[in-house]
Amino acid sequence: MTRVLYPGSFDPVHNGHVELVETASRLFDEVVVGTLMNPSKGGGLFTLEERMELLDECFAHLDNVRTTMFDGLVVALATEVEADFIVKGLRAVSDFEAELQMAQTNLAISGVHTLFLPTASRRSFLASGLIREVSRLGGDVSEMVPEPVRLRLAEKAGA
Ligand code: PNS
């Protein structure tokens, strides 16, 4: 049985993340989607609890996917959930350098390898930060995020 951890900040989860989890759920026996703080991104729009609620709604249709949240190192979460591998998505070559460095750091400190899955090109422009900005300024994000996320973004924008 192979269990993988898909970590991210998911602030909020978007259709590129959904595609990756759907692919991973076909490739591996179990997928744990873990939402963590990205120390370089500040506090964010959604709390970790809100991000996890949205992840739960977005992945309710996948039996072998579960979600969790964690405050700490991604490799500590990988150990806690007994993941065999970490999986990450690559949208474009611009993601590669930072992701490779994180993968190599995580391997060095834990022995856990990271597997990369490419994002379909039609979703490679998706980024949570831009989605937050478009929504905050009244733009339409319905092609970029699942419906529960669109609704929560609209609530935040109207608040
Ligand atoms: O969705 P993101 O923002 O690209 O996810 C980045 C994330 C949360 C996976 C990364 O910031 C992370 O691993 N955070 C936990 C702290 C950690 O383990 N840092 C060392 C990374 S080599």
Here the CATH number for the domain that contains residue 106 is 3.40.50.620
Q: Would you say residue 136 lies in a domain?
A: no
Active site residue 17: yes
Q: Which amino acid is at 87?
A: V
Q: What is the C-alpha separation between 98 and 25, in angstroms, rounded? A: 25
pTM given for the model: 0.96
Omega cis (within 30) before 12: yes
Active site residue 41: yes
Q: Which helix (H) or strand (E) holds 18?
A: helix 15-27
Q: How far is the CA of 159 from the centre of ligand 1 (A)?
A: 29
| pLDDT at residue 43, as a whole number | 79
14, 25, 88, 128: the catalytic one is: 128
Summarize pLDDT for 45-56 with one digit per residue, the tens.
999 999 999 999
Q: Which residues have any ligand 1 atom within 6 Å of their CB?
A: 7-9, 36, 38, 41, 73-74, 102, 105-106
Which pair of structure tokens corresponds to residue 43? Answer: 């506090």
Q: Would you say residue 150 lies in a domain?
A: no
Q: Which domain, by its residues, includes 99? A: 3-125
Q: Would you say residue 141 lies in a domain?
A: no
Summarize pLDDT for 10-30 with one digit per residue, the tens.
999 999 999 999 999 999 999
**For the CA of 11, the nearest atom of ligand 1:** 1
Q: What is the C-alpha separation between 54 and 149, in angstroms, rounded? A: 7
Q: Would you say residue 155 lies in a domain?
A: no
14, 51, 88, 91: the catalytic one is: 91
Q: Would you say residue 156 lies in a domain?
A: no
Q: What is the C-alpha separation between 50 and 47, in angstroms, rounded? A: 5
Q: Would you say residue 131 lies in a domain?
A: no
Q: Inform me whether the pLDDT recorded for 148 exceeds 90.
A: yes
Q: Would you say residue 75 lies in a domain?
A: yes
Residue 116, SS3?
strand
* pLDDT confidence band for 159 (50 / 70 / 90): low
Q: Would you say residue 105 lies in a domain?
A: yes
Q: Where are the beta strands (DSSP E) in the chain?
A: 3-8, 30-36, 65-70, 85-90, 114-118
Q: How far is the CA of 147 from the centre of ligand 1 (A)?
A: 26
Domain count along the chain? 1
CB 119 within 8 A of CB 125: no
